A and B are shown apart, each in its own frame.
Chain A
Amino acid sequence: MSVDYDELSVGYEFPVASYELDAALVSRYLKAVDSRGDDHVPPLAVAARALAAMAGWLSLPGGTIHASQEFEFFKLVSVGSTVECRARVTRKLARGGMRMLILQLDVFDQTKERVQSGKATIILPA
């Protein structure tokens, strides 16, 4: 079930998403970004899955823009690892013809250590 902008409030937590970063997925990612890679998962591949997992819970109208993105990487993730992504709304703003959401993402490995954190700013049409 997805939620739309009106149903979201600051502090809203999306369902926890767990996903495996297997060799096939990493291989597709490396082909897409024209990179060689090594024995660990590129941090932006981890981030891309985390963002997509969160976006899967959001019902966003056409014209929605991913305006900005921040990341901080803490730990390498080995190919084949399973990670867990937690996401929540940290800011919600409606002003004039603009609606904005700021979403915080935190990704953890199987030992519950934080792998990376990120902040996505999304602008929705009014």
Chain B
Amino acid sequence: MAADTGEGKSVAPIVRHITQEKINLYAEASGDFNPIHVDETFAAGTPLGGTIAHGMLLLAYASEMMAQAFGRKWDSGGKLSARFKRPARPGDTATVTGKVDSIKEENGTWCASCSFECRNQNDEAIVVGEAVVALPESEE
């Protein structure tokens, strides 16, 4: 778990290379076999011109970044809100970065509000969003 999650601090980024193999594995794991993700011939005939990664695959990277920074407090108490801005394709490298924007008390619990972005290798935003997570109680 990241030691320093104070206001204004960056969250350790996640970098992932997207391949068709990983998209296919994600389809098997999620059960989402939409041909735009897994059928290269079909996808080539659409306006997108080829397969794209599931938006939820990209969101998984953001969730993993938060889990690495905040541990189980994220997995059993986190909140996430994300907008999908543009598709990610096989061959793209996705980099997720995040920052703690504020730390506030909510119903007696200290929570960190973070913003995050997932960008491709051309620095184009793929997913942007916000996340809120309770902070571990500090020892007296």
The verdict on B32 contacting chain A, using a C-beta distance below 8 Å, is: yes
Given A42-B60, A43-B63, A49:B30 Cβ within 8 A: yes
Given A40-B75, A42-B63, A48-B56, A70:B81 Cβ within 8 A: yes
Interface of B is mostly: helix
A-B contact count (CB 8 A): 109
Write out the residue numbers on chain B whose beta carbons fall within 8 Å of the beta carbon of A25. 29
**Quick check: B60 and A71 within 8 Å, CB to CB?**
no
**Quick check: A74 and B76 within 8 Å, CB to CB?**
yes
The verdict on A53 contacting chain B, using a C-beta distance below 8 Å, is: yes
The verdict on A44 contacting chain B, using a C-beta distance below 8 Å, is: yes
Instruction: Return the chain A residue nearest B77 by Cβ.
Output: A73
The bracket for how many chain B residues form the interface is: 35 or more
Chain A positions 29-58 with a Cβ under 8 Å from a chain B Cβ: 29, 31-35, 40, 42-45, 47-49, 51-53, 55-56
Chain B residues with CB under 8 Å of chain A are 16, 22-23, 25-26, 28-32, 34, 36, 46-47, 54-57, 59-61, 63-64, 67, 72, 74-84
Chain A residues with CB under 8 Å of chain B are 25-26, 28-29, 31-35, 40, 42-45, 47-49, 51-53, 55-56, 62-63, 65-76
